[in-house]
Amino acid sequence: MTPLRPLEGITVVSVEQAVAAPFATRQLADLGARVIKVERPGDGDFARGYDESIQGQSSYFVWLNRSKESLTCDLKSPEGREVVDQLLGGADVFVQNLAPGAADRLGLDAATLQRRHPRLIVCSVTGFGSTGPWSDQKAYDLLVQCEAGLVSLTGTPEVSAKAGISVADIAAGMYAFSGILTALLQRATTGVAPALEVSLFEALAEWMGSPMYYTAGLGRQPARAGIEHATIAPYGPYSTQEGTVVLVAVQNDREWRAFCRTVLAAAEVADDPRFVRNSDRVAHRGELNELISARFGHLSQEEARRLLAEADIAHARINQVQGLLDHEVLAGRDRWRHVQTPGGPVPALLPPFSISGVEPRMDPVPAVGEHTDAILAALGHGEARIAELRRTGAV
């Protein structure tokens, strides 16, 4: 007998778009929850149109929306709101990441919903919080990266750069996911269904903890260092004899001595006053890099990696994205599956956490409104009523 997934029997209704909320609810679906995604009639979630890279479909949407049911519904119509309210009467969790003020205008704010549905956990994903001086500001990932100071830390000394993935959205999605799991536990143990809110800005602010404390303590922020670590050295890329690059990560003084002895073949370098402590090595990073680069320039990649392994020094290749797709760890650990989409099957990674004896749910990515009729029928709407709702554009 196949064991139940942890969230089987839990129903989630989500008025979601873009990345943050869909990432949270997809992870709930991975664990077995039924996730009903409420989309606009017609085009649906605007993330469906971000690109056409994966069999004519958006890479973002395919990544974030497997295992969900799609219901199209016009929330600005009384009939559409009535349909959603019917759904919420039998739901456990409601998630929304609408534009500032929209949930309040639609009666989908936590206070209103919990008066009507006391056992409903309500999760709101906002940009800068539902209260405070920026509560009415729109927030997109790159805007939040800029406001949180992340962009000032990434890039080279000459040019700043954004992170290459939607880190603010992903951070908020992860906190929404873990917050909802916590709220489900609280409801199970106390009978009280809490409301929770996650803001993109505050989620990324939490992830900025190390540079915040560094700046508060020293009165200056870590410098941009490209691929190198801003406050640890040697921790960066070095070119080998054939021009390939190995990233070396020395974490402490013990490893530094092993690195000097085995990789540099110069144990005395460890006691050079410029390099004895990590703070010294960071202060003299240019001289340190010249010394290491000279040594690596006489080593092949294979030889450099062999010596690093012998010294027990962490190191890595600098892969392109194709290198991730082809990575031997993902293949060797059987992390790939196939998920159906409206455009055909696509490869998909299993969730990064594994629960003993549980196979994550990896069901299809829905077409816009694919489940509308079935959901309405389950709510008790007959064919004539469904046809009328379609005729008026409510669904």
Q: DSSP letter at 101? A: T
- Residue 295: which residues within 8 A CB-CB, separation 6 or more? 263, 264, 265, 266
- Residue 105: which residues within 8 A CB-CB, separation 6 or more? none
Is residue 123 classed exposed, middle or buried when 0-12, 13-18 and 19+ CB atoms within 10 A define those classes? buried
- Residue 283: which residues within 8 A CB-CB, separation 6 or more? 274
Contact in structure between 57 and 367 (CB atoms under 8 Å): no
At 297 the three-state DSSP class reads coil
Per-residue pLDDT for the chain (395 aa), expressed as one digit of tens each? 567 899 999 999 999 999 999 999 999 999 999 999 999 999 999 999 999 999 999 999 999 999 999 999 999 999 999 999 999 999 999 999 999 999 999 999 999 999 999 999 999 999 999 999 999 999 999 999 999 999 999 999 999 999 999 999 999 999 999 999 999 999 999 999 999 999 999 999 999 999 999 999 999 999 898 999 988 999 999 999 999 999 999 999 999 999 999 999 999 999 999 999 999 999 999 999 999 999 999 999 999 999 999 999 999 999 999 999 999 999 999 999 999 999 999 999 999 988 988 999 999 999 999 999 999 999 999 999 999 999 999 99
Q: Give dist(CA 131, CA 10) in Å, integer.
A: 30
Which domains can be identified in the chain, with CATH numbers?
11-208+328-391 (3.40.50.10540), 235-317 (3.30.1540.10)
Q: Give dist(CA 281, CA 291) in Å, integer.
A: 12
Give strand ranges (E) for 60-112: 68-72, 93-96
At 394 the three-state DSSP class reads coil
279: its two tokens: 């703070």
- The pLDDT, as a whole number, for residue 225 is 87
Q: Give dist(CA 118, CA 188) in Å, integer.
A: 14
Residue 311's nearest CA partner among 268, 255, 265, 269 is 255
Instruction: Out of 229, 284, 315, 371, pick the active-site residue.
Output: 229
- The pLDDT, as a whole number, for residue 181 is 98
Contact in structure between 268 and 259 (CB atoms under 8 Å): no
Residue 8 vs residues 4, 12, 51, 227: alpha-carbon distances, Å: 7, 11, 32, 43
- The pLDDT, as a whole number, for residue 1 is 52
- The pLDDT, as a whole number, for residue 376 is 95
Q: Give dist(CA 42, CA 395) in Å, integer.
A: 9
340: its two tokens: 């159906």
Hey, how many other C-beta atoms are within 10 angstroms of the C-beta on 381?
A: 18
Q: DSSP letter at 259? A: I
- The pLDDT, as a whole number, for residue 70 is 98
Residue 198's nearest CA partner among 88, 123, 305 is 123
At 68 the three-state DSSP class reads strand
Does the annotation mark 229 as catalytic? yes
Give strand ranges (E) for 326-392: 336-339, 346-349
Prior bond of 234 cis (ω within 30°): yes
Contact in structure between 267 and 260 (CB atoms under 8 Å): yes
**pTM, full prediction:** 0.91
- The pLDDT, as a whole number, for residue 2 is 61
Contact in structure between 46 and 21 (CB atoms under 8 Å): no
